[in-house]
Structure formats: structure tokens, C-alpha cells
Amino acid sequence: MTASLFRTALILTGVGLAGTGWAADPIPFRITLETSPTHIKTKAVEAFVADLGPKTVGQLDIKVFHSAQLFKERDVGKGLRQGAVEMALPASVHLDGYEPNAGAVLLPAFYGLDRDATHRITDGPVGRELNRRLEAKLGVKVIGRYLDLGPVHTYTSTKKIAAHEDFAGLKIRVQGGAANIMRYKFFNANAVAIPWPDVPMALTQRTVDGISSSHESVRSAKLWEAGIRYVFEDNQWFGQYIPMVSLAVWDKLSPSLRATIEATWEAHVEESRALAAASDREARQAQIDNGITIVSPSQAELAKRRTALLTTQEALVKDLGIDAAFMALVVKEVAALK
């Protein structure tokens, strides 16, 4: 029997040889999520795990931890960098504190962009360059294309927003991201970053007047029970999740196992995105069914507001520390959409 076959036999049978450096036990592979069990992200990751598990032949001990059992998403970058967790899927909004260029997708140029336009940007040169920078800063491997959450809108409990002028004086919870905070400030609202698990309490206690979120996230948490009554479909930005594996574990994996993980992830991306789109539509209807009033500004109105916001972009880029070369690439790719 060759050495490689013998090693395979050891892995399959759970037998190891002392002093050889071969491990019979599977490598821990914890995946941390902030979302609930019913959220589209959690469901997408569980489908990926169900497919990946049998392919790894017991080499990985894969466990999914939802509802911020291990980390809140704002802290997960540090956890990955330190090897305290093996995999996570943070939204870019939670990463600009580690890599300022991650905040570019929240800039005025992206305000109101739809699903297809976002995919063209993040699946292309902009996404690849951002991945490279995130990998260097966080000590991670981005294993493939991003999962979708969907368009992020503004929900309120105390006041109906019928036009952008109605934002004045409101306190809005955001996921994070300095550009998010500055955007609401432009509309004369006050934005505060609050972790997702703390949102229901913030709403019921009237700590905030509303939140920046998606239809799916509002439905999964049943936030109409926490007081949400209105939504202004302003397409603030398009939410996506970036699949990252800590280099602390990635470097331990064989090339074939790495390839298996990446191929399995890619096999699920399009299906997961389609499910996210369907879920967004279903969640919107669920909100109507539960008494939430929806206001949808016209595309012309959103374009008008985007033009106004663009007057702040140069200063934002400077304040956020976004690299000039990266921003030039972003501007080029966004312009190509037209």
C-alpha cells in the first residue's frame, strides 16, 4: 500500500500513528453567523454544509452557529484574523473598520443600484480587488462569489416616510459602516450602529425610530411585533455577504480539500442568489400581510437623490480612507453599467 493510500485509510477509519504528524481527528470548522435559523443566509450556509460534509470524508468537523452564538458580525473580522473561528460571512458594511475599501459599496455611486448591477460590480474586477485587500488585511481566504441579502431600505415605527425630507430628526439604526452613517446624515437623520440581535429591543424601547434593513431580515425577525409599521423602499445599498475562511485553518488544508470547498461553494451561489431574490419578494408580501405600509419612491426620484449624494462622494472617499486607485476602478466599473 502506498503512503497516500495508507494515509487515506487512516482518515477513513479514524486511526492515527503517533509521531507521524497525521491527524485522525477531523479539523474543527466552525461557521459563525449573526442571522437567525430562518434567515436566508443561514439557510444558504446550511445547504452548502450539507453538500460539503460528505465530500470531505470526515476531514472537517463542520458546525454552524447562528444567532451570534459565537460572534456578533461587527466583531467577526477580529475572530477570523485571530483564528478564533474558522469561517464567517460578514457583510461588507462590517468590514470597513479593517479594510476601508470595503466601504466603497456603500458610497453614493451605489445608491439605488439594483441586483444585476451589483452582481456585475462585485463579481468582476472590483470584487476581485476587494477580496485581495481583505485577504491581506484580515488573514483570510475569500472562497468565492458573494451571497445576496438584497436591497436595504429604511423601516420606521414612529413616522411614515413619504419623501426624503421626512428623514429629518429621525434616529435610524444601521448595520455599521461610516458611509451609511454619513448618508443618513445627508438626509438630516441620525444614524447609530446597533448589532442585529439587539434590534428588537431597540425598537420596542424606542431607542431608535427606525432601522436600515432588508425585507428578508425584517420578516425573519418578525419586526412588526417590535413596532415596525412603515418602509420606505429607497434602495440605500444592496446587501451581500462575503464568504471567508481564516488562514489559520485554510493553510492546514490540502490543495484538494481547498478545491473541494471552493467548488462546492460556487455550485451553490446562483441557487442561493435566486432564493434570496424570491425570499425578498415573499418577505415584502409578508410585511403587507402584517400591516406594514410600503412607500416606493420612483426611479427618477432615486436618481435625483443619487445625483445630490454624489456631491459628497469625494469628501467621503477621503474621510473613509478609500484608496484612490481602488476608487478609480469602482468609478470605471459603475460607469460601464450605463
Residue-averaged pLDDT of the chain: 90
Domain range annotation of the chain: 24-336
Q: Give the pLDDT mean for 325-334.
A: 93
- Local confidence band at 14 (pLDDT 50, 70, 90 cut-offs): very low
Percent of the chain predicted with pLDDT > 90: 73
Mean of the pLDDT values across residues 127-140? 96
Residue 113 pLDDT exceeds 90: no
Helix (H, G, I), strand (E, B) or coil at 232: strand
Cα gap 309→222, rounded to integer Å = 32
Report whether pLDDT(150) > 50.
yes
pLDDT at 24: 60
Instruction: Say if residues 152 and 214 touch (Cβ distance below 8 Å).
Output: yes
- DSSP H helices, the chain, are 3-13, 40-55, 76-81, 115-122, 125-138, 178-186, 199-204, 215-220, 247-250, 255-289, 299-309, 313-320, 324-336
pLDDT for 288-326, tens place per residue?
A: 999 999 999 998 999 899 999 999 999 889 988 999 999
More confident residue, 127 or 196: 127
SS3 83: coil
| Residue 248 pLDDT greater than 50, yes or no | yes
Residue 9 has pLDDT above 80, yes or no: no
CATH topology assigned to domain 24-336: D-Maltodextrin-Binding Protein; domain 2 (3.40.190)
Q: Does residue 125 have a pLDDT over 90?
A: yes
Q: Highest mean pLDDT range out of 14-18, 160-164, 319-323?
A: 160-164
User: Which contacts qualify for 164-173: CB closer than 8 Å, 24 or more apart?
Assistant: 164/234, 164/297, 164/301, 164/305, 166/232, 170/209, 170/210, 171/207, 171/208, 171/209, 171/210, 172/208, 172/209, 172/210, 172/211, 172/212, 173/199, 173/202, 173/208, 173/210, 173/211, 173/212
Mean pLDDT computed over 143-149: 96
| Gap between the Cα atoms of 236 and 180, Å rounded | 8
Measure the CA–CA gap between 294 and 222, rounded to whole angstroms: 16
pLDDT for 112 equals 83
Is the pLDDT at 12 greater than 70? The verdict is: no
Largest CA distance in the chain: 75
